[in-house]
Structure 1
Amino acid sequence: MHQSTIPVLDLSRFQHDKDAFVADLGAAYQAWGFAGITHHGIDTVVIRDALAASAEFFSLPDAAKKQYFYDNGGTRGYTPFGTEIAKNATFVDMKEFWHVGRDITGTPPFPQLTANVWPIEVPAFKPAMQALFIALDRMANELLQAFALFLGEAEDYFLNRVQWGNSILRPLHYPPITDPSLPNVRAGAHEDINLITLLVGSEQEGLEVLSNTGEWTGISMIEGTIICNVGDMLQRLCNHRLPSTTHRVVNPKGPAGKISRYSIPFFVHPNPDMSLDALPQCVSAENPKRDEAILAHDYLMQRLREIGLVK
C-alpha cells in the first residue's frame, strides 16, 4: 500500500471553462473513479458544524442512541455497530451512523421518501445536517451536469432524474480498533451503490482506494477538499466507462489509530423509477453492454439486502 493524491478538480472552472473542465473530469474518473473537488462553494462552517453535531450525538450513551434505531432497513435514524457488512465480507463494519434523507413538504411523490427523525438530545444536529444536505445536494447537481456532458447527454440530463431521489446524508463514527483479534478494517472493501458520493470530514488517514493496478492506495485528504467518487448506478448507466472503484477504511497506524474517525458521506440517488439501462452511446463493439436493465429502486433493494441493512 502506498500514499497518493487522487486527481483534484476545481469545480469553479465548470462555469467559465466548461469544455476543459469536462475533459479533465472524464480523464480523472476514467483513471480513478475518485477525485478531490475544490472551490465547491460550501462554507467550511457548514461542514464543521455538521461534524461537531455528529460527534456530539455519537458521544451519547448507547441507550440514548438506540432509541432512534428503527426497523426500517436503515433508511432514517440511527444504525448501531455490528449492523452493516460489506458484500462478501467476513466481518461486520466497525462503525455506527445516522441517516438523513431529503426533507419533503406535503405528500412525497415516492413512498421511499420517508420523514426524517432527529435526536432531541442534540438540538444543533437537525439544523446542521439540513444545511449540509442542501449544500451537498446543490454541489452534486452541478457535478452531475458535468458528468452528463462527458457522457454525451444534455447538461440537464439528470435534472428531472434526481430531484426526487432518496439521497442520503450519513454522519459516521468509526471508533479506534483496540482489540488485536479484530481485523484492522473499519469499513470493508466495497463499491458505493448510488450515482455519485460526496465525502466531507475526516482529514486523517484511513481511506484507501484499489487502484487499476491492484494496489491499495491511501488517499491523502487535502484540507477543504470534498472527495467525489462514482457509484455502481452511474457505472451501470455509462456501461462501465467510468468505474465504481473499490475502497475501504482502515485503522491508521500510530496515534491516529487511537482516536475516533468522523466523516459524512452524501450518497446521491436517482429517482426510484429511473432506469439504469446503459446509455446507447456508451455501448459499442469494443464495449458491449455489461449489465441488464433495472430500475434504480429495485437495484437499491437488491444491494441493501446484500449488505445486511434489509433482511
Structure 2
Amino acid sequence: MGTLPTSNILSASNTNPAPPLYIPPSSTTVDLEYADLATIDLSKASTHEGQIKLAAAVCQAMKAQGFFYVINHGHTPEQTRDIFSIANLTFDGVDPEEKLSYTDKSDEVYDGYKPKKTWLISDGVHDQIEHYNINRNLYKRAHPQALRPYLHTIEDFAKHNHFNILHPILKLLALGMELPEDTLVKQHNFSLPGHTSVRFMKYYPRSVEEESKTKSVWLKGHTDIGSITILWSQPVSGLQILSPDGKWRWVRHVENALIVNAGDALEFLCGGFYPSTRHRVVQPPADQRNIPRLGVFYFSMPDDDVKLFPHGDSPVLQKEGMTLFSNAENVPDMETWRKARTASYGRAALRPGKENGVEEEIINGVVVKHYN
C-alpha cells in the first residue's frame, strides 16, 4: 500500500460529506442473561470532584467486571450514525479486487483489510470476519477510493476517541492507583509511533455445519493486546464476557454508548491491578441469526517504545502487591508484544491449559490463554 496522494489529503481535509446511510437492525427481543455492567457518565470528569468520584467508580468496574459502559462522551447520535455508515461502506462499497490492493500481507493484519478465514476457530473451521484497520495517523497509507471522501470524518473520529475518551479514562485509571493523573496518558501519545487505531469490523453469518463444529463460537474467548478497547455499541448481540463466577454473559446494546474494557498492556503496566478482560463473540440470538454484525472500535495501545513494566511507584501497588509478567531485563516493549500476539493469533498450535476449556500458548515468556 502506497502513500496517499497529496490531492486526496487536501480534498479529505476540506470536505465532510454524508456517507450512504446505513440503517442498523433492531435489537434482539430474545430474553438473554446480560452482564451487570456499571455506567460511567464521562461528562462528570470535567470537575475535580467529579473526577475523584468517577475514578473510584471506574476502578471498581475494572476490578469487578473489566467492562463498563460510557455515556455522555461528546459524540452525537448523528455522528455515530455517520461513522457506522462509513464502516458499512468499507465492506459493501469496495469490490473484492480493490480490497486485495489494501489487504495487509504481513502476519500482523494490523493495517488495511483482514480477509475472512484468516484465523482458525475450531475443528478446521476458520473465521467469517472481515475487518479494516486504520492507524490513527490516517495518511501513513492509501485507502480505498470509496473511503477517500470521508477521511476527514474518520480523522475527527480518531482524535475524538483519543483525546476526549481514551485520555480521560486513562486519567481516571491512574488516579485509581494514586498516581499522577497523566501517568498513563504520557504513554499514549497521538503523534508518536504506535498502532492505536480505528477498526471497522463485520461478522458474517455461518453455515449450520460450521456453527455445530465451533459450538456457535465466532471468536474464541481472549484478552485484547493493547491497553483500552473502546467499542461503539451496536444492536446485533454476540459479545459475551466471562463473569467472575465463571459464566459467560451477554453484553446489552445501549444506544450511542461505549463499551470499554482493559487489555494486556494495561494489566502489565498496572501490575495486575486492572486485569485484562476475557471476552468472546458467539452466534447472535435467533431473531438476528442471519444479519451481519457491524462493529466500530478504537483499539488503544501504548507507544511502541513503552516498556510493559508496572508503575511500581503506585501507593496502591505498594500496599496490595503487584504481578510481574516479565523480569526487568526481558520485559517487552509494546511493539514487540503487539507483533508477537498478532502473528500467533489463530495460527499457533495451542496446548491444553490447566483450566477446563482453556488452551494456552507462551508469548515472550507470558502464558496467553484462549477460552472456549
- CA deviations 1:192-211 (Å, max 9, x no partner) are 01010000142221110001
Give the aligned partner of residue 178 of structure 1. 207
Relative to the length of structure 2, the TM-score reads 0.75
Distance 1:92 1:61, change over 3 A: same
Correspondence 1:185-200 to 2 at 5 A: 185-200=217-232
Relative to the length of structure 1, the TM-score reads 0.88
Give the aligned partner of residue 108 of structure 1. none
Q: Which amino acid aligns with 2:286?
A: G
Identity of aligned residues (%): 23
**179, 187, 193: which one aligns with 1:161:** 187
Taking the aligned partners of 1:137 and 1:309, their CA distance within structure 2 comes to 31
Correspondence 1:254-265 to 2 at 5 A: 254-265=286-297
Give the aligned partner of residue 275 of structure 1. 307
Give the aligned partner of residue 154 of structure 2. 129
Deviates more, 1:275-284 or 1:232-241: 275-284
Considering Cα pairs closer than 8 Å and 6+ residues apart, tell me whether 1 or 2 has the greater RCO. Answer: 1
Correspondence 1:69-84 to 2 at 5 A: 69-72=103-106, 73-84=108-119
- CA deviations 1:149-208 (Å, max 9, x no partner) are 112211111233211232011100011223333332222211101010000142221110
Give the aligned partner of residue 306 of structure 1. 344
Q: Which amino acid aligns with 2:37?
A: I
SS of residue paired to 1:53: helix
Deviation at 1:230, TM superposition (A): 0.4
Note if contact 1:191-1:244 (Cα within 8 Å) is conserved in structure 2: yes
Taking the aligned partners of 1:249 and 1:169, their CA distance within structure 2 comes to 19
Taking the aligned partners of 1:308 and 1:127, their CA distance within structure 2 comes to 33
Correspondence 1:1-311 to 2 at 5 A: 2-16=33-47, 17-59=50-92, 60-72=94-106, 73-85=108-120, 91-103=125-137, 115-138=140-163, 139-163=165-189, 164=192, 165-182=194-211, 183=214, 184-280=216-312, 281=314, 283=317, 287-292=321-326, 293-307=331-345
Note if contact 1:76-1:98 (Cα within 8 Å) is conserved in structure 2: yes
Taking the aligned partners of 2:253 and 2:230, their CA distance within structure 1 comes to 13
Deviates more, 1:299-308 or 1:20-29: 299-308
Note if contact 1:47-1:132 (Cα within 8 Å) is conserved in structure 2: no
Note if contact 2:125-2:210 (Cα within 8 Å) is conserved in structure 1: no
Note if contact 1:77-1:117 (Cα within 8 Å) is conserved in structure 2: no
- What's the C-alpha RMSD, in Å, of the aligned pairs? 2.3
Q: Which amino acid aligns with 1:304?
A: T
Structure 2 residue runs without a partner (length 5+):
1-31, 349-372
- How many correspondences in the alignment? 300
Q: Which amino acid aligns with 1:118?
A: H
Note if contact 2:119-2:347 (Cα within 8 Å) is conserved in structure 1: yes
Structure 1 residue runs without a partner (length 5+):
106-114
Distance 1:278 1:54, change over 3 A: same
SS of residue paired to 1:128: helix
